[in-house]
Structure 1
Amino acid sequence: MEVLPRVKIGDYYRMVGDDISTATQRPGRILGLDLLRAVAAWLVLLSHVAFWTGAGAHGTVGGLAVRGELGVAVFFALSAFLLSTPFVRRGLGDRAPWSAGRYLVRRAARILPAYLLALAAVVAVAAALGGAAGSVLDLPTVLVHLVVGQGFTGRTFQSFTQTWSLTTEITFYVLLPVVALLVAPLVRADTPVARARRMLVLCAVVAVGGLCAQAASALVPDPQWAGVIATSAAGHAAWFAIGTAATVLVEAERAGIEVTPRPALAVLRTSPGTLVLLAIVAWVIASTPIAGPRGVEASTPAQALAAEVLYGVVAASLLLAGTSRGLTESLTASPVAGALRWLGNISYAVFLWHVLVLQVVFAALDLRLFAAPFAPTLLLVTIVSVGLGHLSWMLVERPVLDRAHRATVAPTPQPADRG
């Protein structure tokens, strides 16, 4: 993602369904973010394949693969980065019109159509396969999923376990405008620099609060409630705060505001390779026992905190790398520009479908849970999930998003009638 001062980003938000009210002022596309979305989706896919095949329990590669769950942290930070933009611009003193109606319609259009299609397939497969796949197939579970509430109940289909994060995402969507309104008086200052710094301090406070909630969740004796707290918007507040802080840095840069005179930030903004290397180092560290067990065993408070911090470092590094100066220009001029746009478009559907694909592959090939070949399974699940993702984007997501944006486009101001 290119973040030159006056970077053109609006069309990207239109394409992915994120509501940025000034979109028509900055047509363009941040290809670095398309790449980031694709990487995050595949990392989540990688983690589930590693877990189901049993590869995640053994060796260095298995440890890295099973920690692909850190892709969720990238998704959360990216959502915060995109959706907090109008509020950050307002905080910096810029004009950023925002409509609650457009915001809600576009959020629903982005999340629900593809989700409901995948849910229908999950229910159908659970009914067909029976056994463990259909063990929770009842009306209450289906109703909970229809309102995307599985993250609160902890009860979900075997092939839809990853969608707990959608409950957290939607909670963030609802809370973001409310929190932005409440903290607006706290960021007021005489200069844009002071406003930017106050926003960064608030992000740091929220992040610390989220880390405390994550560590505290490991102390809750009831496993269900511990899981609800750990996976909630409060438990992952640090990841959302990282995305918002990145928005502050990017928008300050766009407006010509020098947040700090120290050169370290400027170096990072032009060093995507260094940032990616930092993300890889944090990923390697997270693959060790310091971030908790690789299976379903409960983490200690220290391990939960370490995982949250390390995943956050990966998310922050990749997000800053994706928004490095000059990156989007380089990607746009490269032969892979079209492929990156396509991968960004289908990433959400890949996220939705890949565990169901994994379940069907295991059933069709009669594979044993925790004792299946890792590499062939990974390749097959990736190929089928990408194919289904493409169909979902072309047949469902793109038409709905186009319609939602046409229906909610802000009218162009007209001159007053002089007659």
Structure 2
Amino acid sequence: MTLDALRGVAAWLVLLSHVGFWTGETSGGAVGSLAARGDVGVAIFFALSAALLSAPFVRRGLGEPAPFSLARYARRRLARILPAYYLALAGVLLTAVALGDPGGVLSLPTVLVHLVLGQGVTGVTFQSFTQTWSLTTEAVFYLVLPLGAALAVPWVLAAGPGAADESARRRARGRRMILGCAVLGLLGLPVQGLAAVFTGEGASWWAGALATSVPGHALWFAVGIAVTVLLEAERAGTRLWGGRAGELVEVLRTSPGTLVLLALVVWAVAATPLAGPRDLTDPAAGALVAREVLYGVIALALLLAATSRGLPERVAASRLAGPSRWLGDTSYGVFLWHVLVLQVVYAALDLRLFYVPFVPMLVLVTVLSLGIAHLSWVLVERRFIAWAHRDAAARPAAARR
């Protein structure tokens, strides 16, 4: 339940960033600064995906049986992403035709690229679908994860050969996985820095491709996998660290309020010039790396908060269970539709870009996006997800991923 709520928060943060930009709020002020960094929601989405999808591979790494079917995995990934995406894409294309193709990109090659989720690579997309670059990254991660796990698990299982018992071996394997996540995340940072090197005419494609790639966002994915290692080791009754490190882990596992406060503080830091300009100006290498790290810390803090010991069970048994599940159900639809909602509202009301009151537009776009997302979930998404999961009952936290 708590992961559902976190997914809803991530979607709303992305919505916040676009409303802030379209209204001109991000050009100045404290609220605008925070809105400009609403794209941290993408980091949260990536960390969530990695955390949920890596669970069977982490269990294998700990030496436990974990059945995995590549065909089932592929079917569930396709059912989760594509039906709602194609519905939203149809809405984008119809709107582009109705509005006279604002942006001038309504062409067959562009449409075909979107059909295969390639816009994150080409960098060419519709004005009302710019946020879907992250789906390209997500889809590539889906492909890379099983392959990377197949290569990494034997290396992980080789840890702790002289351990006295199975618990000690699990501890050694868990630490090795955490180490691997740390290395993976650190190796991704130079990719972000390199993206800033490609400037000038003809180089923007390379900059965009590197900045939005799976290696470029390896830190965010690594954060999610590391959290799953911690949770699966705990589920198996194994403490990965003792001493002060173990005490710190205990604090992190039992202090959701502190973790949320940490995320808010880091979000405020990210809203400063440290993370680069708030407009579409190309950031420097240092700013790109700083933003990647700060967003990674926020995603880590919120993911740890949402999985704090006992919290998911308490929320599931409370009145918050229904709203939390609904937020998770509608999160993908909100992500897909909110920019199109913005475009239609601006066109219908004949509004000027950058000259619209922020708060009323934020409320309007939030309400309309939630309504459309609910319909998307009820009419399309849950039907395909149920079909994809027809062969087994999925765990509640993973059922909608």
* TM > 0.5 fold call: yes
Indicate the residue corresponding to 2:49 in structure 1: 79
Structure 2 residue corresponding to 1:172, chosen from 141, 152, 161: 141
Q: 1:364 aligns with which of 340, 348, 351?
A: 348
User: What is the Cα deviation at residue 224 of structure 1?
Assistant: 1.7
Aligned residue among 270, 276, 282 for 1:298: 282
Aligned to 1:243: 224
Which of the numbers 32, 40, 47 marks the counterpart of 2:17?
47
Distance in 1 between residues matched to 2:388 and 2:287, nearest whole Å? 43
Deviations 1:333-366 (A, max 9, x none): 2222111111111100110000000000111111
1:206 aligns with 2:184: yes
User: CA deviation digits over 1:371-419, x for unaligned, max 9?
Assistant: 111111100000000000000000000011111111x439xxxxxxxxx
Q: Return the offset for 1:137.
A: 0.3
Using the alignment, how far apart are the partners of 1:328 and 1:150 within structure 2?
36
Partner of 2:80: 110
The answer on 1:194 being equivalent to 2:175 is: no
Does structure 1 residue 127 correspond to structure 2 residue 127? no
Tell me the distance in 2 between the aligned counterparts of 1:96 and 1:329: 24
- Please state how far the C-alpha of 1:131 moved relative to its aligned partner: 5.0
Match of 1:218 in 2: 196
Q: Distance in 2 between matches of 1:75 and 1:248?
A: 18
TM-score by length of 2: 0.93
Count of residues paired in the alignment: 378
Counterpart Cα distance in 1 of 2:314 and 2:152 = 37
The residue number in structure 1 matching 2:234 is: 253
Secondary structure of residue in 2 paired with 1:68: coil
**Paired amino acid for 1:329:** E
Structure 1 residue ranges, 4+ long, deviating more than 4 angstroms after superposition: none
* In 2: Cα distance, 1:392 partner to 1:116 partner: 11
Matches of 1:224 and 1:93, distance apart in 2: 43
Change (3 A) 1:116 1:131: closer
1:396-415 correspondence runs (5 A)? 396-406=380-390, 408-409=391-392
Q: Quick one: distance in 1 between partners of 2:226 and 2:72?
A: 24
- The letter for the 2-side match of 1:198 is R
Write the distance in 2 (CA, Å) between the matches of 1:127 and 1:302: 41
Instruction: Name which of 141, 146, 155 aligns with 2:115.
Output: 146
Aligned to 2:64: 94
Q: In 2, Cα distance between the equivalents of 1:105 and 1:403? A: 9
Amino acid at match of 1:254: R
CA distance in 2: counterparts of 1:259 and 1:56, whole angstroms: 43
Deviation at residue 223 of structure 1 after TM alignment: 1.4
Secondary structure of 1:136's partner?
Answer: coil
C-alpha separation in 1, matches of 2:316 and 2:386: 23
Match of 2:398 in 1: none
Superposed displacement of residue 214, structure 1: 0.8
1:378: which partner in 2?
362
Partner Cα separation in structure 2 for residue 214 and residue 259 of structure 1 = 31
Shift of 1:273: 0.4
Residues 94-122 of structure 1 deviation map (CA, whole Å, 9 limit, x = unaligned): 11000000000000000000000000000
- How far residue 250 of structure 1 moved from its aligned partner, in angstroms, is 0.5
Amino acid aligned to 1:384: L
TM-score w.r.t. the length of structure 1 is 0.89
Q: Distance in 2 between matches of 1:180 and 1:198?
A: 13
SS in structure 2 of the partner of residue 204 of structure 1 = helix
Give 1:186 deviation, angstroms: 1.6
Percent pairwise identity: 62
Match of 1:59 among 24, 29, 53: 29
* Counterpart Cα distance in 2 of 1:173 and 1:403: 19
1:20-51 residue CA offsets vs partner (Å, 9 max, x unmatched): xxxxxxxxxxx110110000000000000001
Partner secondary structure for residue 371 of structure 2 = helix
RMSD (CA atoms): 1.0
Q: Deviations over 1:288-315 (max 9, x none)?
A: 1100000000000000011000000000
